[in-house]
Amino acid sequence: MRSILEMPAPIEKTANRLPAGRAPLLAFVSDAATEKALRDCLTQLSLAHGMIVRGGIAKAIETLGAERSPNILIVDISGVDLPISQVDALAEVCEPGVTVITIGDRNEIGLYRDLLHAGVTDYIVKPVTPQLIARALNRVMTPVGHRLFVLSSEEPLRDDLEFTAEAVDTLFRALREQFHYVIVDVPRIPAAAYRRALDTADFRIIVGDQTLRAVRDIVRLRDVLGEDNGKQRNGFVVNRYGEGGRHSVTLQEMQHVLGLQPKTVIPFLPTVFAAATNGTRVAAARRSKFTDAIAALVLELSGRPPERRRWWSTAR
């Protein structure tokens, strides 16, 4: 069975319309039990703007033929004789970039493969539970290589993004079932959900550059995180080292003020990132001082040295 993270591109329509104004999630379901499970899942994940409509994939085709497509579309294909044909018809009315998750009552590997080939992200077999839906909403992650997957989004600037600490717990539970390591980028905003992420983490890393503003922020974060204990560790990483030249706060000055020794120092190498941006590889794909710094950080996080590729060939 192919992994759903090795899926084809999402179902798209060739019309060149902008994605602004899309609903975050729209679901078309055919029975009360599935609707309840979906509502419970959206509540747990704090997706309050998600909309659920009673009706299957035929209703979805009719609706999206006249209305904007959502970012995530969930459709029920239960009882449909020719589901792939219906999915193809759905593709004709969907805007580019729509992520489609299907729900059905047929537990068949052939159908699963055909749906993935048609561009569907995942297929959930009934009976549906909130956990299954949450897991499917997570598989939306973008693969970067074979062992790294990124889950991110850019919310509209006009929207007030609100989610609860309980939603963080729900997301972490789903991710922990699938991955050995979960890395979360937490902003400096003092919100309950972000504090829950910090309280849950086994290893908290403070990242700062060589500026006075960063030093002030690090002092505040250090006070919030406290000292290392038996369950949690704290680390300090200096990023973009050397960017400010002689006007930067030196590492010695940072250590004197903060009382912290940086575990890793990541150099400022704009040419490396420029080449990565214009190409298809990530910045750490080629050996450099940046790669060595990331490898040191990986060792600190996991306790396992990164795998190094051998330069000789074993083929004969």
Q: What is the pLDDT along the chain (316 residues), one digit of tens a residue?
A: 333 333 344 444 333 333 446 777 899 999 999 999 888 887 776 665 678 999 899 999 999 988 888 888 999 999 999 999 999 999 999 887 788 999 999 999 999 989 988 888 889 999 988 888 877 776 766 666 667 777 766 666 666 667 778 878 877 887 787 788 899 998 877 788 888 999 999 999 999 999 999 999 888 888 888 887 778 888 899 999 988 888 889 989 988 888 888 888 989 888 776 665 555 556 666 677 888 888 888 888 877 665 654 444 444 3
Could you say which DSSP state residue 287 is in?
Answer: -
Domains of the chain, each with CATH number or no CATH: 4-143 (3.40.50.2300), 202-302 (3.40.50.300)
**Tokens 């052939």 map to which residue?**
110
**For residues 12 and 91, is the Cβ–Cβ distance under 8 A?**
yes
pLDDT value, residue 5: 36
Q: Transcribe 22-69 into DSSP letters.
A: --SEEEEESSHHHHHHHHHHHHHTT-TT-EEEES-HHHHHHHHTTSPP
pLDDT value, residue 75: 95
Pairing of strands 149-150, 142-143: antiparallel
pLDDT value, residue 305: 62
- What are the Cα distances from residue 54, in Å, to 31, 62, 140, 260, 281? 7, 13, 24, 57, 44
Structure tokens at 242: 């050397």
Structure tokens at 37: 């499970």
In one-letter notation, the amino acid at residue 18 is L
pLDDT value, residue 145: 63
pLDDT value, residue 59: 93
User: Three-class SS of residue 213?
Assistant: helix
Full-model pTM: 0.56
3-state SS of 61-88 is HHHHCCCCCCCEEEEECCCCCCHHHHHH
Work out the number of other CB atoms within 10 angstroms of the CB of residue 128.
Answer: 23
Q: What φ, ψ does residue 5 adopt, rounded to 5°? A: -85, -5
In one-letter notation, the amino acid at residue 41 is C
